[in-house]
Amino acid sequence: MVPGTMRGASIAAAVAAAAALSSGCEATYPIQVMTPIRAVLDVTRFRRVVIPGFVTSPHDPIDTNAEMVRVLRSQLRARSHLGVVAIEPVAIEGPQLGDVVYWRRLGEEYDAPLIVTGTASFSASVERLHIGRQIEALRLAPGQMPRASEAEDRTRFTFDARLLFIDGGSGATLHTLMFRETMIHFGNDKVFALSAYFEIMDRVLPTFTNLISDQVFDGTRILLK
């Protein structure tokens, strides 16, 4: 058989197989599949988690410290077996992050919990874009002046965080998790900083949760019958 004939036979066989499936010889049906995903960190020895606060800047457009504590506690209450200790958020100073004695003393108050702290920064800046000026300049004859270009504002929101997971029994840092997310809103419509913060947190929370809590992935598979 010549090569062209072989290719023709293969195509015909594939078409016949597809026709057999579509004619009702085979049926497909979906099934739900629950896939367990183990947490990255082993936190089984902890019964509680304490999120006291973060190192933040007073120049942020929101109270980043309070919002970080609130969002992470809410996430852990919903998706973790750990009991979340409700304490008033406190401002953490930079040198405290590496102070083993400080974290061990805090851990003694709450029966050696897992402690989550770190640094967090959320900023917003407005940038003005001049549309079409560079393109128009290339088309002008020598000596011609470009017309005033249209301007459009965009707001850039940037979130940076370095989360520390600390053993409240020893004061030692178990793991560090870093985030950097940027979101841009175009147009002159006012965008509230807090809304942008929550939108960005929706992106990073799954990574945070999967680090210390077992999850179950609910998916669908298609089987032949």
Domain boundaries, the chain: 32-224
Low-confidence ranges of the chain (pLDDT < 70): 1-26, 29, 31-37, 128-152, 187-190, 214-225
Q: How do beta strands 173-186 and 150-167 pair?
A: antiparallel
Those residues whose C-beta lies under 8 Å from the C-beta of residue 184, and which sit 6 or more positions away, are: 154, 155, 156, 157
Contact 25, 221 (CB under 8 A): no
pLDDT of residue 185: 81
What are the tokens at 217?
């992935």
| Strand ranges in 38-81 using DSSP code E only, listed in sequence order | 48-50
- pTM of the entire structure? 0.70
pLDDT of residue 11: 46
Which tens digit of pLDDT belongs to each residue from 72-85? Answer: 999 999 988 899 99
pLDDT of residue 189: 60
Name the DSSP class of 121: E
Q: What's the Rg (C-alpha) of the chain?
A: 28
CATH of region 32-224, choose from 3.30.110, 3.40.50, 3.30.70, 3.30.300: 3.40.50
